[in-house]
Amino acid sequence: VAHEYFHNWSGNRVTCRDWFQLSLKEGFTVFRDAEFSADMGSRTVKRVEDVSFLRTLQFAEDASPMAHPVRPDSYMEISNFYTLTIYEKGAEVVRMIRELLGPEMFRKGSDLYFERHDGQAVTTEDFVKAMEDASGVDLTQFRRWYSYAGTPVLNVSGAYDADSEVYSLTVRQSCPPTPECADKPAFHIPLRIALLDDQGQHLPLRLKATKQQPADELVLDVTEAEQTFEFVGLSQQPFPSLLRGFSAPVKMKFEYTRDQLLFQMTRDTDGFNRWNAAQELATGVIDDLLSARQEGQSATPDQRLIKAYGDILAAAISDAESVRELDQAMVARILALPSEAYLAEQYETIDVDGIHAVREALADTLAVEHAASFARLYHLCQSDEPYQPTADAIARRALKNLCLAYLMRLQGDKGEEALRICHAQFEQSSNMTDIDMALRLLVNGEQSGIDEIREQALAAFYDKWRHESLVVNQWFTIQATATRAGALQRVEALMKHSAFDIRNPNKVRAVIGAFCNGNPVNFHQIDGEGYRFLADQVITLDRLNPQIASRLLTLLTRWRRYDSDRQPLMKAQLQRIASQANLSKDVYEVVTKSL
């Protein structure tokens, strides 16, 4: 709602001169609606949500055959440019301008932009020029973000000289080849940093050979292929807190040890970096387990991760019992393991089955090790108060449902108790958030006796909400994304349900899109039936709705990222689609760029 409302300014009062400027209205508006949502709730959690989405999906798009700049130079079918790059990366480009200018000058530039161009059709150049004129900051090199595709990589290293009390930070940037350009010049990248002492307190930042006053945080202007920044007056080795708030849409590599990541999880003053450290620590442990599995060896999770989760749970329980100062939504985010989609993007060759197996095993281990703490925290987050859409209430529900998700992994007596709690939440809750989560867990649960409860819950949910189309879409999606065996057969059965209509794009997304995008272990079954199913639907939909057909096709375009058994199966379905007569321009463009 906020997004469409903000289009009254960025899109209507000032609009695009041509389709190549699409991000001028969409990227800017995504940035503005994100800021509104951050103001209404937890700013850190909103940033975590947005970056999770960007790193999982837009980064994948930037590494695919369909990669394109934020301001493309050409197109075959404009519908194919309503992409995550236009929207999400476009918003990040606007955010970087604010990082470079500061909030005050950014607001001044925005006001000038609307004042200067009210009622006009303009370009991204007009937007950037308004920012330059208002602030006096030269953004010439920054404009490259509009012209080149791909996700830049920052390789960062640090060195401390105790004798001179100087800490040197060396940054090397690169960007992989993309369809429009193989060799790219350096970008202008805002790198927000802080240096912390061994207690997590800020050390004063003073750049060598500058008149800059000491500060807790700085935004470094990374403009060269390789740069070194020297910080003086440091009497102890600092801990570098880098890319704070995710100040640029880049992949950053810094050789943090696991002990350093543990420190950052609990001591960093930047909430985003605390969450990111937890994700990186868990990703490293999952990588260990995956490597062992691929080598035919058994392995146990790093106990430092298990203990870290226990410490976070203990702190959350203590807080819930007394002061209630912690951001419970942030705690829930930190305790959630990286998604399978995010993990997949960390590998050149995606091991679908391995990623699923080791992530599930790690989650099961965490559930067993901390069962009592998850149960205690779940009950502490329960509330008899009427439903409220406030930030605190939303956070409490998020943490409660995170705990329930871990509890539903338990077996035996504890598993039966978790099932009882989950079933009670489904039947007794008065809000859709809790009911939806309980139903999802019932659909995926494996406890003894759950089958009958599951079917009863699905039937009751549908019977109650059958006249609410959007809620029925949730009902479809919950079943389509269930990871139990036989998922494709369930999806094919759902497509025969009276509430499903392949001519309705939302129904297509809720069933076909949800299965293909949100159920990787079943979509990528080694028999290739998931690929055959998707190709069948794309061929059918191309005659009904070419736009949604081309978007569904995206998964097959990444066929080169998978193992040697799956590659030919995926490619064969692309070729089958390509051989169809009278393909739409939408689908034809995606297929031909992918083969």
Q: How far apart are CA 162 and CA 172, in angstroms?
A: 24
In the numeric block, which tokens belong to residue 558? 């990444």
Give the count of alpha carbons within 13 A of 48, CB side only.
23
Looking up tokens 């930037």, which residue turns up?
Answer: 62
Instruction: Name every residue whose Cβ is closer than 8 Å to that of residue 543 and which is 6 or more positions away in sequence.
Output: none
In the numeric block, which tokens belong to residue 199? 């207690």
541 near 583, Cβ under 8 Å? no
Helix axes 271-294, 258-267, angle to 10 degrees: 150
The helix/strand/coil state of 223 is: coil
For the residues of 436-461, what is the DSSP string, one character each?
HHHHHHHHH---TTHHHHHHHHHHHH
Catalytic residue among 4, 104, 226, 492: 4
Classify strands 15-16 and 121-122 as parallel, antiparallel or unpaired: parallel
Which of these, 425, 452, 429, lies nearest to 441 by C-alpha position? 425
59 near 149, Cβ under 8 Å? no
Which of these, 363, 371, 370, 374, lies nearest to 301 by C-alpha position? 363
4 catalytic residue (yes or no): yes
Which of these, 75, 82, 90, 118, lies nearest to 33 by C-alpha position? 90
Strands (E), 83-177: 121-122, 153-161, 166-174
Q: What are phi and psi of 226, to 5 degrees?
A: -145, 130
For the residues of 15-65, what is the DSSP string, one character each?
EESSGGGHHHHHHHHHHHHHHHHHHHS-HHHHHHHHHHHIIIIIHHHHTST
Name all contacts of 170-173 with Cβ < 8 Å and 24+ positions apart. Answer: 170/226, 170/227, 170/228, 170/229, 171/220, 171/222, 171/226, 171/227, 171/228, 171/229, 172/225, 172/226, 173/222, 173/224, 173/225, 173/226, 173/250
For the residues of 286-348, what is the DSSP string, one character each?
HHHHHHHHHTT------HHHHHHHHHHHHHHHHHHHTT--S-HHHHHHHHSPPPHHHHHTT-S
14 near 122, Cβ under 8 Å? yes
Looking up tokens 């090790």, which residue turns up?
Answer: 369
Catalytically annotated residues: 4
